[in-house]
Structure 1
Amino acid sequence: MTVEWARGGPDLLVALDRDAGPLGIQIQDQLRAAIRDRRLGARERLPSTRRLAELLGVSRGTVVDVYQQLLAEGYIEAAAGSGTRVAAMPSGGPVRQAPGDLAALSSPSRAAVVDFEYGIPDLGSVPLTDWTWAVSEATRSLTTAELGDEDPAGSRHLREVVTAYHRRVRSGCAAAQDTVVVSGFRQGLAFALATLAQHGIQRIALEDPGPREHDVIARRAGLDAVPVPVDDHGLDVGRLRETGARAVLLTPAHQCPTGVALGPSRRRDLVAWADEVDGVIIEDDYDAEFRYDRQPVGSLQGLNPARVIALGSVSKTLAPAIRLGWVLAPPRFVPGIVEEKRLSCRGAPGLDQEALALLMESGRFDRHLRRVREIYRARRDVLAAEAEAAFGPGRLHGLAAGCHALLRLPDGTSERAVVATAATMGVRGNGLDHYRFAAAAEAEPAPRPPALVLGFGNVSEHQISRGIRALAAAVRRQTHAPAGPTQRAEAQAALKRRTTTPA
């Protein structure tokens, strides 16, 4: 993408040696080299001749001659109203490829038209107007002193708002002094794991299947990561007891990727396990805000605040670009988490922290959640109708909450083959094995039934219908099963009852 500099762009660095020959030749040579090396990108605007002459301390006529020569050689182009810009160099020319252009040389696989990647919210529904208001209010209200380095734990205002919100909406019981503001979930997780290691915890249990790369993050913190299977009631606490771990990381509200909620008896068993082993539960409050067919489940942190570290962020409720999150921790861990943060970074932007606090206090955050909850509910309903028509009843799981579901494939189906075939049709998805520990997948004698993880947060209803049909075709290609006209008729009838918006 071309950067559109205003008014000719920032100053252009050209180093002149006034004792080394004609200045015009030096300027030409340096501009040619910058264009060849892609330090100046195609279609990038150059300074006006008057501005460049002022910057370099040469006559305007010298710069005019330089531009005319480069224009004649094809390095730059000029058009009325558009100024002077770098010309697009031919791909077969002597231009050296810049690191940022390597993606253009990747394999010519078909770009995804329907992307069922999990964990992505509806980016078209991000409340940018409300966020602009919040940033403006933060800019107006922050004192001069608050524009300096923040409290190592983060904005006191945001910590008070987050904990009050968590107590009210998630039945938690954290206080502001037990909260650390971080730049997103992963940073908070890294700080929490490093702190556990400093407290003598050496092994952590992770859900299998579970979120990708959590095992990598745990090992980077110096912990031994072990898998614990997940069934229809969530993490198997009995198997957890067999691991010898003193910490566990899980997604209890809407398990990633199976979509199940941790059952009531499992929740009690988990808290009892933590007391038995002097252990710690790390709660990823994933998808807790989006529920449809059941009452919300409270946070584990509210059950045993002395044993639970709760992690949250706005990456899925607002947008990943608003890189803010929080850690609610037992008091004995807070100093270690704050020290990890202090040594790793200067913290999240203070203006953004104040803006988020104001957004939540004003009610705009809740209004946004109510609106997108209905959007996701409608998409979920279309996904359920299409999946039932294409694959039969009982194939789609984990629909009571969140923005992803698990589609069970017919026995004997290869997840990888279906994913690869669907990709040729412009549909992207991931198989359940994509979320498993590699070692556990190799050791388990009876592999799980094949399934696909389908995120529906950032796809339209029309795209969902198109994507499910493509996945069904991909399965038929592998299994050689005929299409089901009765099922297709049922799907069409179901979809007529809903209003869909073409992509």
Structure 2
Amino acid sequence: MSEAMKQSIRAGLLPAGSTVPSSRALAGDLGVSRGVVVDAYAQLVAEGFLVGRAGSGTVVRDVARPPSRPSVSAPAGRVEAPPYDIDLRPGLPDLASFPRAVWLAATRDVLRSLPDEELGYVAPWGAMALREELADYLKRVRAAMVEPDHLVIVTGATQGLTLLVRMLAETGHTILAVESPSNASQRRVLGRHISNILDIPVDDEGLVVTELERTACRAVLVTPSHQYPSGVTLSPARRSELIRWAQRVDGVILEDDHAPEFRFDRGPIGCLQGLDPQHVALVGSASKSLAPGLRLGWVVAPLVLHEMLLAAKRDDDFGSPVLSQHVLARLLANGAYDRHIRRTRRRYMERRDALVTALAEELPDWEMSGRGGGLHVMLRLPAGVDEERVCAAAADRGLAVQGTRAMYGSLPAPHSLIASYARAPAGVLTEAVHRLAAASTSVRTVTTGSNDPAIRRVRPATALDYF
């Protein structure tokens, strides 16, 4: 009854100053005991909806009505995306492949056996069960040099990189070198924690270390196993050059181990951290292998930074969710994680093949890179074809692809696109390429540059587009 009266007062149906019925009269009208009405009136008086006045009964207090809900507009600088029925933008794995039944079974096993104290405030750097299993996995699959005590479980790779960059800034680093091209959203986040982001070009062998050596930088972020977005692998010669650079300047290499499990032309390539654990911090996650919604990642930092990393993780959030850590540990221990990787690798390879075949047939003059692994390919557009126009024309046909211009930072950006094959079956990928070819044909040769108002800019795909 009190809730109904509150709503009536807020809506103005019981106007301010009006007298409500006596408790006896209202009780008779409603067919309830007088005590129920007395208690309701007392509650409404206590909450400020009614006020008792001597000689005039109980009246409605003047209560401010809630404001009408404002219309929500898109944040400044963002363009509302048109509806897509095919989305080839990168950022997500095939979420339909998440091993729900296996995860559910492991969750039940964990809940049956997990000690009560493990659900409390445990070590902020992660459950020991996961750190032990993960250390074995990283040594076996990634050739990492790591022990459980040196692993820190984080809430995704972004948190791991953010903690490391904050630590570098606190210890006097003012410059972070990044690959060009690289993840634009990631560089924007990290740029909030260090004063200067420096772009270093990438070629067919990966990061151009000679360009890095010309700078005063002592920290660099790289994706050596599968460079994002070009897909190239850091060559053995460049790996050696990069390690020698770090040793010479006493620098730090932040290794973002991006989608290392999904290689189709060879076995997984060992991580840089295994070559020099004193100068390389390894950052990985389960976002591409399982699902980003799990928010599970890990960091192996050089020993000189390890204690700082423990304190940074503790102070940042006091630890990542524990239950999912134990479930992942169970999947690593019983081999279910390895089996899942093998299944999804086959699925991604089949989809990659379908996309590559369709591109070769319909867009043979588009240069392709990154087909050896990962979840996408990068496509260099022919001379005279503008990526923004192609993206806009594709969007008009219900197809979402992503341009790469924002990923080059301060360096010159060739016109390129990224097309992910992770979430689309073969037939859909064939249709997507057909639409992309039609979009390419429909756009005119660029003569005026990227500020041409005729170009309808399409919102770029970042991690934020999936929130």
So what's the TM-score if we normalise by structure 1? 0.74
Equivalent of residue 176 in structure 1, options 132, 145, 148: 148
Aligned partners of 1:218 and 1:224 also within 8 Å: no
Matches within 5 A, 1:397-408: 397-408=369-380
2:129 to 157, 167, 177: 157
2:434 maps to what in 1? Answer: 469
Partner of 2:395: 423
Question: Which residue of 251, 254, 261 corresponds with 1:279?
Answer: 251
How far apart, CA to CA, are the structure 1 residues paired with 2:307 and 2:384? 51
The corresponding residue for 1:320 is: 292
Tell me which residue corresponds to 1:330: 302
Tell me how far apart the structure 2 counterparts of residues 107 and 221 of structure 1 sit (CA, whole Å): 27
2:84 and 2:213 mapped to 1: Cα distance? 42
Question: In structure 1, what residue type is equivalent to 2:6?
Answer: Q
Aligned counterparts of 1:205 and 1:251: Cα–Cα separation in 2: 12
Deviations 1:59-115 (A, max 9, x none): 8xx9xxxxxxxxxxxxxxxxxxxxxxxxxxxxxxx993367x657xx9885311111
Aligned length: 396
Which residue does the alignment assign to 1:130? Answer: 102
Contact 1:190-1:221 at 8 Å conserved across structures: yes
1:393: how far off? 6.1
1:304 match: 276
Kept in 1, the 8 Å contact 2:87–2:400? The answer is: yes
2:226–2:232 Cα contact (<8 Å) kept: yes
Q: 1:417 to 1:394 in 2, by over 3 A?
A: closer
Tell me, in whole angstroms, the C-alpha distance in 2 between the residues paired with 1:206 and 1:107. 27
Distance of aligned partners of 1:422 and 1:32 in 2 relative to their CA distance in 1, 3 Å threshold: farther
1:82-101 paired onto structure 2 within 5 Å: 96-97=68-69
Q: How big is each residue's C-alpha offset from its partner over 1:283-304, in whole Å with a ceiling of 9 and x where there is no partner? A: 0110110011123211001011
**Which residue pairs with 1:28 in the alignment?**
8
Give, as a single letter, the amino acid of the residue that structure 1 aligns with 2:403. Answer: G
Residue 348 in structure 1 maps to residue 320 in structure 2:
yes
Letter in 2 for 1:313: S
Q: CA deviation at 1:152?
A: 2.3
Q: Check conservation: 2:93, 2:288, Cα contact below 8 A.
A: yes
1:283/1:309 contact within 8 Å kept: yes
- Tell me, yes or no, if the aligned pair for 2:366 and 2:382 is still in contact at 8 Å: no
Mean Cα deviation higher: 282-291 or 191-200: 191-200
1:379 equivalent among 318, 332, 351: 351
- Which is greater in Rg? 2
| 1:335, distance to aligned residue in structure 2 (A) | 1.2
Pick from 454, 468, 474 the counterpart of residue 419 of structure 2: 454
Q: What is the CA deviation profile of residues 261-317 of structure 1, one whole-angstrom value per residue up to 9, with x for unaligned ones?
A: 001100000000000100011101101100111232110010111111000110110
Task: Decide whether aligned partners of structure 1 residues 298 and 153 sit closer, same or farther in structure 2, where only a CA change above 3 A counts.
Answer: same
Give the Cα separation in 2 of the matches to 1:108 and 1:248. 34
In the alignment, is residue 199 of structure 1 matched against residue 158 of structure 2?
no
Unaligned runs of 5+ in 1: 1-13, 17-22, 34-52, 63-93, 442-446, 481-503
Displacement after TM superposition at 1:467 (Å):
1.2
User: What is the match of residue 3 of structure 1?
Assistant: none
Classify 1:330/1:108 alpha carbon distance in 2 versus 1 (closer, same or farther; 3 Å): closer
Q: 2:411 aligns with which of 432, 435, 440?
A: 440
Q: Distance in 2 between matches of 1:135 and 1:191?
A: 29
Q: What's the TM-score, normalizing by structure 2?
A: 0.80
Question: In structure 2, what residue type is equivalent to 1:370?
Answer: R
Aligned AA (1:440):
L
Secondary structure in 1 aligned to 2:177? strand
Please tell me the root mean square deviation across aligned C-alpha atoms, in Å.
Answer: 2.5
Counterpart secondary structure, 1:174: coil
Distance 1:25 1:368, change over 3 A: same
Shift of 1:346: 2.2
Pairwise CA distance, 1:24: 4.9
Question: Equivalents in 2 of 1:223, 1:107: separation in Å?
Answer: 29
